[in-house]
Amino acid sequence: MSDLTNSSGDFDVIAHLIRDRRKRVLQTANQELVSLYWEVGKILHAKTESEDWGQKTIEALAAHLKSRYPDLKGFSRRGLYRMRQFYETYPGSIVPTLLTQLSWSHHLLIFSQCKRSEERGF
């Protein structure tokens, strides 16, 4: 029994490592998702601005992605429009230290709460 008691400190160290690494994995995944959404938004913006694509094309893209990747979430018509809005709000090169530090949910909250583009540009 004393071996178990002596090991509890080691157990806590291992538990802390697990929690820490899981947090890092989630942060990295979030950064990659936000970056992906910005890049998709950039493509959608360029295509719709150059008139290569009409507004119906975004709907067709959403349908295509849904049929090709049925388990993929977030790429509905509405999600794609939000990605374009995300790019249009931050059209310069993406600033990883700022934009990717916030979750996609936080960016959506900013879009919904801010009425003017100046407010969104924080």
Give the tens place of pLDDT for each residue, 23-38. Answer: 999 988 988 999 899 9
pTM beyond 0.85, yes or no:
no
DSSP 45-94: HHHHHTTSS-HHHHHHHHHHHHHH-TT--S-SHHHHHHHHHHHHHS-SS-
Average pLDDT, the chain: 84
* Residue 122 CB partners (closer than 8 Å, separation 6+): 110
Amino acid at 106: H
